[in-house]
Structures are given as structure tokens and as C-alpha cells.
Structure 1
Amino acid sequence: MDPIRDILQFHRPLDDETFKREAKRLSTAAQSERWLYMETEESKREPWQGDVCPGLRLAFVAEDGQIEEYVGTVMLLSTTCDAVPGQDPYAVFAPVFAVAEFLEGLTAAQQTSKLNALKGGHYARYLYLPAANGYPDSYVDFSQAASVSTRYAERIFEDAPLGARLRLSRLGWYFFNYKLGYYYARAEDEGEIPRRTTIQNTWAVVDGADH
């Protein structure tokens, strides 16, 4: 199995010639963990889907119903066009945490096991981000995603130095989309589909409609 070809195949709208060229080039690039990223150009400072940027404020509802705030590094989950002010009023971001926090308090053996699982993509809600541009090994937590004003986000992104930003390469973006889609759309277990079908059939009988 070639994971590079699998990712490209899954997200094809590439023609055959482009597909073969990208697969060959990216197979070589993927030998380094930096295959995930590309350079951020000065002329393209606006937020792109998958961009990582520091200094954004998020809000979450805690167990006691109170609002908790997070101010720090985030990743943009919404599509690039939806993050443009005037297109949509809000965009969705998720917090980014240092891997060291994830491993804190564990034994050496537990740390090795957890880190391998994180890097291997075994946690549905986490996306591992290798160290780059001064960021340590980190991970995105999709489960803590929150909506933010696109105009507020634009100001934060505009003010952040390019050296403090991370932007996904084409392959990195494909992989990000695969992980994000899997987290939000995967079937929980083998009983998921039969369980939903049963509910639908029961509902149809109750209201007498033909669904």
C-alpha cells in the first residue's frame, strides 16, 4: 500500500498526467516530516483552509455551563472561501496544543505508545503537526472547534508574521481533509446503519407517510 497514492486517489479531481506527476514528486517529499507544509507568500496572507496561526481567541462551553476561553495557536477548519469576510460571517477554528502537554505525566513506555498512536493517526479527533517554524511537535483537536468572526480572524492573520504561520502543502491539505472528514462522518460501529434504518422505518409507520 502506498499512502501517498491512496491520498491522491481519494481526492482526485486530478487528471491522469497530473496525478502521476504529483504522486512521484510527493512520494519523495514524504520521506521528510516537512511534507505537510509549504511556504506562505507575502502576497497571500489571507487565511487558507488548514492554516495554523497564533493569537486567536476561542470560546467553549464547559461542563458547568460556563464559558471558557482559549487564546493561542489555532487551525482554520472552514474552507478558504468561507473564511473570507463578506462571504460568511463566521469560520470554524480548532485549537492547537503542544504534544508535550498530551504526554505529560505518563511513563516513558506510555509516552512512546501515545506518541506513535498520535503520529500514526489512530486518534480520530487529533491531527498531528510535526515541528516547524518555531512550533514544537503539536496536534489539532477537532473536538474543540469553535466559530469565530471572519473579520476578527482576518485581523489576527494579517497581523501575524509570516514566520509564525504554517500553511499546508497540497499533500498536507489532502491529508487534512481526509482526517477532518473521517472525524465528522465516520460510522461509529457496525450497528450504526441498522440502528438508523430502524428509527426511520418506525417513524414512517407512525406518521403514515411513505419515506
Structure 2
Amino acid sequence: MLKELIDFVDSILPSVPMGTKEGVQEAIAQFEKDGEQIKYLTANPLSELSQGDIISAVPFYYFDNDGNQKMFKTDALVLSTSCHIDQKDKLVLVPVFPLTSFKGNFVELKKNKVIDYMYIPEGILINSYVNFEIMNTFSKELIMSGLKNGKLTRVASLNQIGYYFFIIKLTVYLMRREDIGTLNERNIGFA
């Protein structure tokens, strides 16, 4: 799965240096050769709320096509950086949906070739996917008090590999190269 992601990232962000890309691919090949399952999650959640943590049963709000506010409750991944969590009053979370709600190509989703989503084939996330399309901002105090009083639970944290994987997926989602037409239009007057 990671090898396919690296190849996919290379196809849309070809500026990754060849040595870096080959090194990552060699490391992935070593895992596959040894028959090991790559682990993305820590055995237990980290001691402090951190970027990439999964929190249970968070209410998300959105507006439908008629402008009506709607709500759904699902697990969430913390998008805010760990230092932002420590220093700011707001947190950004994205939903974690069950695979049964996915409408699309499961093979592409599970190989992480769908830019908008992240799939982690491990533990509590094996039957879920992260959706970067829906981002909600929450009061840090609301989330922290929910965790303290048990209304919310931290159910998982990303380990180092999982964290880098998350950063790659988020970078591709938010920062991938624009199409040629848009790039050319941005260059008008700068030649």
C-alpha cells in the first residue's frame, strides 16, 4: 500500500528528489520482503492530545444544498498541529467514516489513491477511512472537557510511520500542483 502511495505521489508531485523516493521505496520493499505488516498506530494513545489522534463520537456540522444546517456524529482525526493544540483556542478535526458509507472504488481507496481520503489498514481504523473534505473547527476547551469528563475518548494515535503517512496524504490533498491552465494564468504579468 505505501509503495503504491509513493508511486501515486510521484505521479502528481514529480519534484520529489529521486534519492528520497528510492530510499522510501527500498524501506517499503524491505517491510514487504520480511512479510511484516506495517504498523501505523501506537499501542496506546499518546500521553497528550496530538495531531493525528482519533477521538470518538464527535459532532460535525455542515450545510446542505438548501442552506440548512445538518449534524452527524462520528469519530474524528485531529488535523491541528500538536503545537497549535498547546497554544491556540481552536482545533480543526476531520471525520472518520465507516467503510460501509464509502461510495466509490474500494481498491483505489485502500491503496490511498483517492486524494481526498486516507485509509489505514490497522486496528480500529481497518474498517474506516478519514475524509479530508469535511473540516470543522472546535473550541479546544470543548474537546478537552469532553475528553476529561468521558463524553469523548481518544481511541488511537499515529506512530511515526503513521504520522509521516498522514502528512503525505494531507500535503497531497491540500498542496498538490495545480493544473497547467491555472498555473499559466497565475504567471500572467510575471514573465
* TM-score bucket (shorter structure): 0.7 to 0.9
Task: Say whether residues 1:184 and 2:174 are aligned partners.
Answer: yes
Taking only aligned residues, the RMSD between alpha carbons, in angstroms, comes to 3.0
| CA deviation map 1:157-184 (0-9, x unaligned) | 342456xx11111001001001001101
Task: Indicate the residue corresponding to 1:174 in structure 2.
Answer: 164
Deviation per CA, 1:62-97: give whole Å up to 9, x if none.
Answer: 22222211222000011012123xx21111100110
Distance 2:31 2:126 in 1: 25
AA matched with 1:48 = S
Matches within 5 A, 1:119-134: 119-133=110-124
Alpha-carbon shift at residue 188 of structure 1 (Å): 3.4
Is contact 1:60–1:68 with CA below 8 Å preserved after alignment? yes
Quote the residue 2:73 is aligned against. 71
Does structure 1 conserve the Cα–Cα contact (< 8 Å) formed by 2:56 and 2:153?
no
Moved over 3 A (4+): 26-31
Deviations 1:22-65 (A, max 9, x none): x59x83798315x1111225x71x32101111121222222222
TM-score by length of structure 1 reads 0.68
Partner of 2:37: 32
Q: Judge conservation of contact 2:96–2:128 (CA < 8 Å) in 1.
A: yes
Distance 2:120 2:66 in 1: 31
SS at match of 1:168: coil
Structure 1 unaligned segments of length 5 or more: list them: 11-18, 104-110, 205-211
Residue deviations 1:82-136, cap 9 Å, x none? 123xx21111100110111115xxxxxxx7xx11100111111100132514x55
For residues 85 and 112 of structure 2, the distance between their equivalents in structure 1, rounded to whole angstroms, comes to 26
Contact 1:75 1:95 in 2 (8 A): yes
Q: State the distance in 2 between where 1:67 and 1:30 align.
A: 48
Larger Rg computed on CA atoms = 1
1:82 aligns with 2:72: no
Question: In structure 2, do the counterparts of structure 1 residues 174 and 131 end up closer, same or farther at CA, with 3 Å as the change threshold?
Answer: closer
In the alignment, what sits opposite 2:20?
A: none
Pair 1:118-2:109 in alignment:
yes
Q: Percent identity at matched positions?
A: 24
Q: Which has the higher helix share?
A: 1
Count residues with an aligned counterpart. 168
* Distance (Å, rounded) in 2 between the aligned partners of 1:178 and 1:57: 26
